Amino acid sequence: MTLRFRRPEAHAGDLIFSWVLRGAAMGLPALLFSIAFFLFQRAEPAIAKFGWGFFTGSVWDPVQENFGALPAIYGTIVSSFLALLLAAPLSIGTALLLTEVLPRRLASAVGFLVEMLAAVPSVVYGLWGIFVLVPWLRQSLEPALARNLGWIPLFSGPPYGVGMLAAAIILAIMIAPTITSIAREVFRAIPRQQREAALALGATRWETMRLAVLRSGKAGVFGAAILGLGRALGETMAVTMVIGNRPSISASLLEPAQTLSSVLANEYAEAASDLHLAALVEIGLALFAVTFAVNAFARLFLWRRTLGRSAR
Amino acid sequence: MTTTSPFLLETRGLSAWFGNAQAVKPTTLGCAANTVTAIIGPSGCGKSTFLRCLNRLHEEVPGARAQGEVFLENGPVYGPGVDPVAVRRKIGMVFQKPNPFPALSILENTVVGLRLAGVRRKNVLRELAERSLRLAALWDEVKDKLDQPGMSLSGGQQQRLCIARALAVEPRVLLMDEPTSALDPVSTARIEELVTELKKEVTVVIVTHNMQQAARISDRTAFFLLGEVVEFGETSRLFTNPVDPRTERYITGRFG
Amino acid sequence: MSRRYFGDYVFRSYGWRHLQSRVMIGLLAAACGLVLLPLFSILGYVVWQGLPALEPAFFTQLPGSVGEAGGGMANAIVGTLTLVGLALLLGLPWGIALGIYLSEYGRGRFASVVRFSVDMLSSVPSIIIGLFVYAWVVIPMKRFSAVSGGVALALLMLPTVARSTEELLKLVPGHVREAGLALGLPRWKVILRIVVRGSLGAIATGVALALARVAGETAPLLFTAFGNRYWNQGLDQPIASLPVQIFNYAISPYEEWHRQAWGGSLVLIALVLGLNISMRAALRRKGKTGDS
């Protein structure tokens, strides 16, 4: 009896196919690199003119061609962190509710709604911000804040409606689904035995969540928050529409401000002088570098570690 | 302690379901104080589910429910208004795979149940931790590294840490769900040794798929098959002189 | 019987602990309600404010003159469809190729660099993509154009397409590949004819989800496609799009334009969420994903 095996031959087709795919793959790191390169190249005139002073200068005057990015950097950082402060507890709470409390069917329905929140286009958030959120802030929340907490510089000044607070709230709404769905994944990856260990010790439902879920998922939840922060830092349209776009640094959250991305959205298409354009690209470069660093940090250090653990 | 029933832990007609599938058929068993009761049977026979009904952990699985009666020191475990959390404090449990809390140190893992119950004072916690780690025969191995994570221990040590954790709240009963199935032979032997020691402190109910283990450490053995107790009696008698032919077939390895 | 140590130290009653547990679960539910509240508010306002704006003219006419009543967003609707079509044309082959590479060849150091790059590209702010395409396409062409807008959207959909393709192909069990190879087929034929073709439906839904995402993008179009008050005159000319038009109208001082911005938002949201929901439903029916 003879069995005939056809020996696998090195097909030319296989070689071509794998090299085409490899080329497509190689294009991606190359793309990231060329984004950085193009930004750097086009920002060069501004870098040459202002040096590090660009990041510490607080005057942004296209007419005088004097460009300092500090107000935009300040606005980006403050609005993003404030958004994180608002969104993180709410999102983590929602994720806990979805994985630990609600029955499966209801949880997947609510989870679906949360994901719909992530699918709403940024410009629609902005429109809603201008015509619903901002008037409410101006007429209700901000006067109340100023009345009761006005002695804190954070809440002083006239209620414009538009401003840092409006931007932070709208960012919080937008990053909540990101944080929620990642935190949900983290909680889901925690083995059942952890929860049963807590229950068997006589823990209540909340104590079980705290002990078996929150404490075990701490690193992953932190990673989720950082990814949410990364999204907030780069978000453009909705923020541009509600932040008021004023290049100033104010202690009050009720005052208008600007962010790196809102400056770009407002001025880039209309910038006339080369230096103005270069300064705007440098702002873009700064934004790129910061979001890249934040996201790379989240993925390389936090995300992989927690996923690695849960995969074990 | 004086009791009207000879048993510390007793079930009467206890049955369990997953959705519409009955996993445990009405079961009546009794465990006397300071004894070890082994539950043996082929996998999928409902022995683990039965065990998880005793501390009302079964009902935490979505769609699962239990029916019938369980008495601990003559108190109904499934009575109206009985708090499952209070039940679980009195009936500790050790699982198949060691499951110390990954974020907690050895010391914190040991005293976590006490913390939940509201014990706050550091020196008290430490004293009680030492007591339960000694009971679990782990103290000498970990006394110099109590602040290291519980996960840094070996598998066998982790399982003894889980035993210490369960013992810390001074339960009346310790349920063990195949506690050595994930361990090597040496660690298994240590745990078996420990179980016979622990008899002085608690009443043990242990589920095992290993008949030799049941024969070595238990006083009485229940043989489960297809969700039902086929035979229950003195371990020595059951293994040498089984009444039911199915038991005989199982213990002589001629089953299925 | 040994001495009981611990009973003397119990301070917290079960009643208190259960109350705490209930209060905390109530707070979790409240948090969830707060997270979802904006969704309902947004959907409610968009329908309530947008529906009256959707007259027939809205879908058939060009924008009216500044601030006057009448006119529509027909050019923006067509523009968005054109841009999405361009993005599909430009981004799809690359995205699918990347997905196949990651799933079928994606082992080793280089593959993890590629995978990391995909993650990083998806986290680049979309306005930066716009800035890059401006330098890469708009400047050499010397004008804003539909093509540059399409390139920007294609780059944005790339990571989504690549990752969903990778994940779907990974669901194809290894024995299917082995069966193909055992027939003596070359590897590339096994991958294309058996593995990819078998998942084509699911891949298409993944692509549609990516399109839904980029269809609503505004920031990368601001200085690529730019915008146009008239019909597009060719792919090398500026082109209107719904998101950019909504943005311009929303920040304008005119009532009539605000009205149309809501109308445009309703169309955009119907497009994006409609695509999203139907694709998810299709994916779930095929049982290719877990819940939601």
Interface-testing mutation among C6, C16, C27, C123, with chain A (most A C-beta atoms within 10 A): C123
In a domain, C89, yes or no: yes
Chain B residue numbers with beta carbons less than 8 Å from the beta carbon of C4 are 170
Chain A residue numbers with beta carbons less than 8 Å from the beta carbon of C35 are 90-91, 94, 114, 117, 176-177, 180
Strands B9-18 and B21-31: antiparallel
Number of domain units in chain C:
1
Question: How high is the pLDDT of residue B4?
Answer: 67
Chain B residue numbers with beta carbons less than 8 Å from the beta carbon of C5 are 127-128, 131, 170
Does pLDDT of A201 surpass 60?
Answer: yes
Does pLDDT of A306 surpass 80?
Answer: no
Of B57, B62, B165, the CB nearest to A196: B57
In a domain, C24, yes or no: no
In a domain, C193, yes or no: yes
Beta-carbon pairs below 8 A across chains A and B: 66
Q: Which helix (H) or strand (E) holds B252?
A: none
Model pLDDT for residues C261-289, shown as the tens digit of each residue: 999 999 999 999 999 999 888 877 765 44
Number of domain units in chain B:
1
The answer to whether B118 contacts C9, with C-beta atoms less than 8 Å apart, is yes
Chain C residue numbers with beta carbons less than 8 Å from the beta carbon of A96 are 28
| Sign of the Cα pseudo-torsion (A240, A242, A247, A251, in order) | negative
Nearest CA in chain B to A207: B116
Closest-CA residue to A31 (of A302, A300, A294, A288) = A288
Nearest CA in chain A to B84: A202
Identify the CATH number of the domain in which residue B213 sits.
3.40.50.300
The answer to whether B169 contacts A202, with C-beta atoms less than 8 Å apart, is yes
Question: How high is the pLDDT of residue C291?
Answer: 38
Does pLDDT of A116 surpass 70?
Answer: yes
Residue B94 lies in domain: 9-103+172-251
Subunits in contact with chain B (3 or more CB pairs closer than 8 Å): A, C
Q: How far is A182 from chain C (nearest CA, A)?
A: 13
Of C1, C7, C14, the CB nearest to B83: C14
Of B118, B169, B170, the CB nearest to C12: B118
Identify the CATH number of the domain in which residue C106 sits.
1.10.3720.10
Subunits in contact with chain C (3 or more CB pairs closer than 8 Å): A, B
DSSP secondary structure string for all residues of chain C: -PPP-GGGG----HHHHHHHHHHHHHHHHHHHHHHHHHHHHHHHHHHHHHGGG--HHHHHS-B-STT-S-B--HHHHHHHHHHHHHHHHHHHHHHHHHHHIIIII--SHHHHHHHHHHHHHHHS-HHHHHHHHIIIIIHHHTS--HHHHHHHHHHHHHHHHHHHHHHHHHTS-HHHHHHHHHTT--HHHIIIIIIIHHTHHHHHHHHHHHHHHHHT--GGGTTTT---SS----TTS----HHHHHHHHHTSS-HHHHHHHHHHHHHHHHHHHHHHHHHHHHHHHTT-SS--
Does pLDDT of A88 surpass 90?
Answer: yes
pLDDT tens, residue order, chain B (256 aa): 444 678 899 999 999 999 999 999 999 999 999 999 999 998 888 999 999 999 999 999 888 999 999 999 888 999 888 899 999 989 999 999 999 999 899 999 999 999 998 888 889 899 999 999 999 999 999 999 999 999 999 999 999 999 999 999 999 999 999 999 989 999 999 999 999 999 988 999 999 988 899 999 999 999 999 999 999 999 999 999 999 999 999 988 755 4
The residue among C151 and C195 whose pLDDT is bigger is C151
Residue C96 lies in domain: 77-242
**How many angstroms separate the CA atoms of C238 and A217, rounded?**
49
C161, with CB counted inside 10 A (0-12, 13-18, 19+), is buried
In a domain, B159, yes or no: no
Provide the chain C residues 11-50 that lie in CB contact (below 8 A) with chain B: 11-12, 14, 17-18
The answer to whether C39 contacts A117, with C-beta atoms less than 8 Å apart, is yes
Average pLDDT over every residue of A52-74: 92
Chain B residue numbers with beta carbons less than 8 Å from the beta carbon of A200 are 55, 57, 88, 92-93, 95, 166
Chain A residue numbers with beta carbons less than 8 Å from the beta carbon of B100 are 197
Does pLDDT of A111 surpass 80?
Answer: yes
Q: Residue C236 corresponds to which tokens in the numbers above?
A: 């090398």
The residue among A257 and A298 whose pLDDT is bigger is A257
Question: How high is the pLDDT of residue A309?
Answer: 41
Interface-testing mutation among A28, A80, A90, A132, with chain C (most C C-beta atoms within 10 A): A28
Chain C residue numbers with beta carbons less than 8 Å from the beta carbon of B133 are none
Chain B residue numbers with beta carbons less than 8 Å from the beta carbon of A215 are 101, 103-104
Question: How high is the pLDDT of residue C70?
Answer: 78
In a domain, B234, yes or no: yes
Chain B residue numbers with beta carbons less than 8 Å from the beta carbon of C12 are 117-118
Average pLDDT over every residue of A229-233: 95
Helix (H, G, I), strand (E, B) or coil at A271: coil
Chain A residue numbers with beta carbons less than 8 Å from the beta carbon of B99 are 191, 193-194, 196-197
In a domain, C169, yes or no: yes
Chain A residue numbers with beta carbons less than 8 Å from the beta carbon of C219 are 122, 236-237, 261, 265
Question: How high is the pLDDT of residue C81?
Answer: 95
C238 touches chain A (CB under 8 A): no
Model pLDDT for residues A159-197, shown as the tens digit of each residue: 899 999 999 999 999 999 999 999 999 999 999 999 999
The answer to whether B124 contacts C9, with C-beta atoms less than 8 Å apart, is yes
What domains, with CATH codes, occur in chain A? 68-311 (1.10.3720.10)
**How many angstroms separate the CA atoms of B88 and B67, rounded?**
17
Of A104, A201, A218, the CB nearest to B165: A201
In a domain, C223, yes or no: yes
- State in Å, rounded, how far the first CA of chain A is from the last one: 47
**How many angstroms separate the CA atoms of A36 and A38, rounded?**
6
Does pLDDT of C292 surpass 70?
Answer: no
Nearest CA in chain A to C138: A269
Nearest CA in chain B to A105: B62
The answer to whether C127 contacts A241, with C-beta atoms less than 8 Å apart, is no
| Percentage of the residues of chain C whose pLDDT score is greater than 70 | 93
Model pLDDT for residues C163-181, shown as the tens digit of each residue: 999 999 999 988 989 998 8
The answer to whether A202 contacts B88, with C-beta atoms less than 8 Å apart, is yes
| Percentage of the residues of chain C whose pLDDT score is greater than 90 | 64
Question: How high is the pLDDT of residue A310?
Answer: 37
Model pLDDT for residues C201-239, shown as the tens digit of each residue: 889 988 999 999 999 999 999 989 998 888 888 889 999
Question: How high is the pLDDT of residue C283?
Answer: 77
Chain B residue numbers with beta carbons less than 8 Å from the beta carbon of C11 are 117-120
Does pLDDT of C7 surpass 60?
Answer: no
Q: How far is A231 from chain B (nearest CA, A)?
A: 28
In a domain, C269, yes or no: no
Average pLDDT over chain A, rounded to an integer: 90
In a domain, B123, yes or no: no
B112 touches chain A (CB under 8 A): yes
In a domain, C96, yes or no: yes
Confidence at C15, pLDDT banded by 50, 70, 90: confident
B103 touches chain A (CB under 8 A): yes
In a domain, C116, yes or no: yes
The answer to whether A196 contacts B117, with C-beta atoms less than 8 Å apart, is no
